[in-house]
A and B are shown apart, each in its own frame.
Chain A
Amino acid sequence: TQLLEQSPQFLSIQEGENLTVYCNSSSVFSSLQWYRQEPGEGPVLLVTVVTGGEVKKLKRLTFQFGDARKDSSLHITAAQPGDTGLYLCAGFGTGNQFYFGTGTSLTVIP
């Protein structure tokens, strides 16, 4: 099993603040995905990163894949209440499996 640890587990911030969520592993993944899940819904794919060192931007969200493809970060600039949700990272690894992180629950207070 290839484990992914996310930190922090819970995060509560004021609207307008910046934040970073981390996804770390000792295993190498061929690609890594980030999802956001809202209560009562399924996870929605935000981005996939493939190349070590890759940076992708999605409006106020910046995703980075570590050089060694073992870790990733998600940075949100000027957080808004609509960013509230559970953020999940998932690495694609051995056995054609997607290995999910432990999740980060984000609350943005208006």
Chain B
Amino acid sequence: NAGVMQNPRHLVRRRGQEARLRCSPMKGHSHVYWYRQLPEEGLKFMVYLQKENIIDESGMPKERFSAEFPKEGPSILRIQQVVRGDSAAYFCASSVLSSSYNEQFFGPGTRLTVL
């Protein structure tokens, strides 16, 4: 049973370009969470999605950032017109929620470098 997959693992973009980060959740998981992490820091929540729905995007900047989780295919985190401050590691996690026991499993992350 494959774990959470993310690609690419490393992404280099120049200022003003677009970055697309992909996340395939674990089989059977319908909840996806995206986080951002700067070096030596903890995880910062960005967005929580279920299939075809954005549940909570309170941690995601209103401009340039968007996320989707279509009925078919991976979840996508899209950053338009990247700036140097967007350089970070971006992690996605998936979960299957039950009434009493909930766990998240993380992918290996995408390290975005903006030149």
Contact B45 A100 (CB under 8 A): yes
Q: DSSP class of A's interface residues: helix, strand, loop or mixed?
A: strand
Report whether B42 and A30 are in contact in the complex, using a CB–CB cutoff of 8 Å. Answer: no
- Asked if residues B104 and A96 are in contact (CB atoms below 8 Å), the reply is no
Given A42-B106, A43-B106, A103-B41: A96 and B48 interface contact (C-beta under 8 Å) = yes
B103 touches A42 (CB 8 A): no
A11→B48 CA distance, assembly (Å): 32
Q: Which residue of B has the minimal Cβ distance to A102?
A: B42
Tell me if B115 is interfacial: C-beta within 8 Å of chain A. Answer: no
**Contact status of A90 and B104, CB under 8 A, knowing A100-B45, A103-B42:** yes
A101 with B42: CB separation less than 8 A: yes
Question: Is B42 a contact partner of A100 (Cβ separation < 8 A)?
Answer: yes
Residues of chain B within 8 A of A103, CB atoms compared = 41-43
- Given known A-B contacts A42-B109, A96-B55, A97-B48, A88 and B43 have beta carbons under 8 A apart: yes
Q: A33-B104, A96-B55, A98-B104 are in contact. Are A43 and B31 (CB under 8 A)?
A: no
Chain A's nearest CB lies how many Å from the CB of B62?
18
Max chain A Cβ within 10 angstroms of own Cβ: one of B48, B101, B102 = B102
- List 13 additional A-B contacts (Cβ < 8 Å) besides A42-B91, A42-B106, A48-B102: A33-B104, A40-B111, A42-B4, A42-B6, A45-B105, A50-B100, A50-B101, A90-B104, A92-B102, A98-B45, A98-B102, A99-B45, A100-B42
**Chain A residues in the interface with B (C-beta under 8 A):** 30-31, 33, 35, 40-45, 48, 50, 86, 88, 90, 92, 95-103, 105
